[in-house]
Amino acid sequence: MITIGIDYYPEHWDRALWEEDAARMARAGAHVVRIAEFAWSRMEPEEGRFDFAWLDEAIAVLYRHGLRVILGTPTNCAPLWLYQDHPETVQWGRDGRPTALGIRGHRCIYSPVFRRYAGRIVEEMARRYAGRPEVFAWQLDNELESNHCTCPACTEGFRSFLKEKYGDLDTLNRTWGSQVWSGEVSRWDQITPLLGPENDTGWYNPAWMLDYERFAAACTADYVRFQSEIIRRYDPHAVITTNSCFCANLPDFHQEFAALDVAAYDNYPPIVLPEDPEALTSNAFALDFIRSFKQRNFWILEQLGGPMGCWGPISPAMEPGMLEGYALQAVAHGADLLSFFRWRTAATGAEMFCHGLLDHSNASNRRLAELEVLCRRLARMPELDRTDVVSQVALLYSAEQEFAFKNQPQSAGFAYWTQLRLFHDGCMNLGVNVDILPESASLEGYRVVLVPTHFITNPDVVARLEAFARAGGTVVVTNRSGVKDQNGNCILGQPLPTLFGALCGCHVTEYDAIGPARQTLTLPSGETCAITSWCDLLETDTAEPWAWYTGRFYAGTPAITKNHFGAGTAYYVGTVGEKALYRALLLEIFREQGIPALPSLPRGVEVTERSGPGGRYRFLFNDTLHTQTFPLDGARLKLRPLEVKIQTGEGDWL
């Protein structure tokens, strides 16, 4: 059974409301309630004085109504007394100063003093609640970012990280190539987090920055491990997760979730859908990405439940069908639990216009009714959580590429993220399941591996991709692959794509970083397709050309090549195209590999399948605001805006 949850803040409400709230949640069809993730000042109003009576009571009220809790550790928001009495717990910003207090998330998760207090509150909670039947799972902190803190403890920590990695400064200087601009480090205390103003990253040594990003990501992973170990001491069987989000400083999610039991995400798909058919707005990418953290099904700990507001103006109202449609889109991509943000819209505090399921009036409304419809529908599929998203296509992701690209943009408008999304969109548009994989993952069971922009080049990954192709698989490599070594320095003495040259059977004679300009290429069908951002001018060695540039001084030069490699194939894509390019390329690849595709799907309709011991379920989601009619399995199918139709393996519609 898919678990339905509600995000609830008992500390925001008069106790007189708790009983009725719990009864209404249960009536709506909820099973769990996520609580407590910001309530430190209520749990420990002053240093060392703990008060859990209110939380005991809230948990008891919910449990009386059959609702178990996902218990949040409250460490995102330390109480003000902690910051005041122990200023070394405050996070420092890029400007090298303590952050101004007054919002949330001001704590430095690396500070030993903060760890002491965070550890103590987590331990108090674990001692009291771990292993109790009311507790369904634990959420650690809230929406953790990579630890970009510049406080003295973090600065020292970065130095220790480097000492451990390089041993001595000669090795460090050599690896970083820091003789450029007299940047040689002669004493360890010259090393700082090197963040500088956000938009100025291009001036710093990329090798230094890459190591800094690695350190910052490792801090976040260590913090998660630190909290989870405390809880596990009290309940080795506790189910522990944390709610991820796509923030400014992305952590290395695969590393972060290694210590946790299940991946989780806060899912806020767009309320306003752009008209531009080239916009990459589908949340399907994010959902598949979250599934990759543990390479299995995941949870949504905050699911869009109402119009957004607060930090910006209030968004438009949610369209009819949106709450249910987006929730089922998440289930289609592997969510086994969905907790809706939030029960009732806050009446106080900064988020008083970030709407929950209920408005301030507390009256039943259209959104709550839609949640009830969703719960009834999912109750008719009790075996759904015994199915997975099974894919023959893998899209490789690595946090290293994300770090390197963010700090050293290659061409205006060209982002690692966009590359990934374009390939993902191509799969979605053809109704083909796709797994996003960390680079270290096994490729067994896949037929196609898509490798957008393997910029920081890992020779191990190259060797595994060669073996995969040799054994009959298809690999797709793109521009800006093979550029740098693992230290973040350029690979010398061989034409791009360097280590990928043998696999791809082509080389780059020159490149043209065209930025936002638009050009075209010709596909094998003779049709043309728009391209942008980057053009690698390719010369084939053992490969054959697959698509050609049509303009500038390189008209007629190959833009995409195809190489037979062992029993398999490798494509090299030297540019970035409009959506149609990926559709055309992937359609050919799927045909060659015998992967069933649905080329008749209209744009914006996503078809995903879950299968396993619980049966087979095909989800058809219209991620647009207009009705779509299209042929499917010899019949015509109609989907209303944001509608999800679900078909079982036996052909029944649910």
Catalytic annotation present for 527: no
Q: Cα separation of 473 and 452, whole Å?
A: 16
Whichever of 242 and 532 has its CB closer to ligand GAL, that residue is 242
For the CB of residue 195, give the shortest distance to ligand GAL in the complex, in Å: 23
Q: Is 242 in the site for ligand GAL (CB under 6 A)?
A: no
CA distances from 17 to 27, 112, 300 (A): 15, 39, 26
Report the distance separating Cα 545 and Cα 506, nearest Å.
9
Of 44, 302, 324, 512, the one binding ligand GAL by CB under 6 A: 302
- Strand partners of residue 138: 71, 240
Helix (H) / strand (E) element for 23: namely helix 15-28
Which residue's CB is nearer to ligand GAL, number 242 or number 520? 242
Site track for ligand GAL across 501-520, x = CB under 6 A? --------------------
Handedness of CA 400, 403, 408, 414 (dihedral sign): positive
Report how far Cα 561 is from the mean position of its chain's Cα atoms: 30
For ligand GAL, the binding residue among 23, 245, 373, 502 (CB under 6 A) is 245
Among 142, 283, 457, 575, binds ligand GAL (CB under 6 A): 142
Task: Examine residue 354 and tell whether it contacts ligand GAL (CB under 6 A).
Answer: yes
Task: Tell me how far apart the alpha carbons of residues 328 and 340 are, in angstroms, rounded to a whole number.
Answer: 13
Q: How many helices (H) and strands (E) does the chain have?
A: 17, 24
Q: Which is nearer to ligand GAL, 72 or 98 (CB)?
A: 72
Q: Is 351 in the site for ligand GAL (CB under 6 A)?
A: yes
Task: Residue 91: name the closest of 81, 100, 82, 80 by CA.
Answer: 100
- Residue whose CB is less far from ligand GAL, 351 or 370: 351
- Candidates 143, 211, 324, 336; binder of ligand GAL (CB under 6 A) is 143
- Kindly determine how many residues on this chain lie close enough to bind ligand GAL according to the rule CB under 6 A: 9
Is the CB of 158 or the CB of 343 nearer to ligand GAL? 343
- Residue 73 as a binder of ligand GAL (CB under 6 A): the answer is no
271 binds ligand GAL (CB under 6 A): no
Nearer to ligand GAL, 142 or 628 (CB): 142
Q: Which is nearer to ligand GAL, 326 or 341 (CB)?
A: 341
266 binds ligand GAL (CB under 6 A): yes
User: For residue 193, which phi and psi values (nearest 5 degrees)?
Assistant: -60, -15
Residue 84 structure tokens: 């005041």
Identity of the residue, 221 or 354, whose beta carbon is nearer to ligand GAL in the bound complex:
354
- From the list 7, 2, 10, 11, the residue with the least C-alpha distance to 33 is 7
| Among 44, 143, 145, 256, the one annotated catalytic | 143
Give the orientation angle of helix 152-166 with respect to helix 206-234, to 10 degrees. Answer: 100
CB of 226 to ligand GAL, least distance (A): 21
Peptide bond into 613 cis (omega under 30): no
CB of 235 to ligand GAL, least distance (A): 25
Determine which one of 256, 302, 351, 370 is catalytic.
302
Alpha helices by DSSP H, listed for 270-365, are: 284-294, 322-332
Least Å distance, CB 250 to ligand GAL, is: 14
Q: How far is the CB of 37 from ligand GAL (least distance, A)?
A: 7
**Residue 525 buriedness (CB in 10 A; 0-12 / 13-18 / 19+):** exposed
Type and span of the H or E element at 586:
helix 579-593
- DSSP per-residue letters across 91-145: -B-TTSSBPPSSSS--B-SS-HHHHHHHHHHHHHHHHHHTT-TTEEEEE-SSSPP
Residue 545: which residues within 8 A CB-CB, separation 6 or more? 538, 558, 560, 561, 562
The question of whether 11 is a catalytic residue gets the answer: no
- Which residues of the shown chain bind ligand GAL in the complex (CB under 6 A)? 142-143, 245, 266, 302, 308, 341, 351, 354
Residues carrying an active site annotation: 143, 302
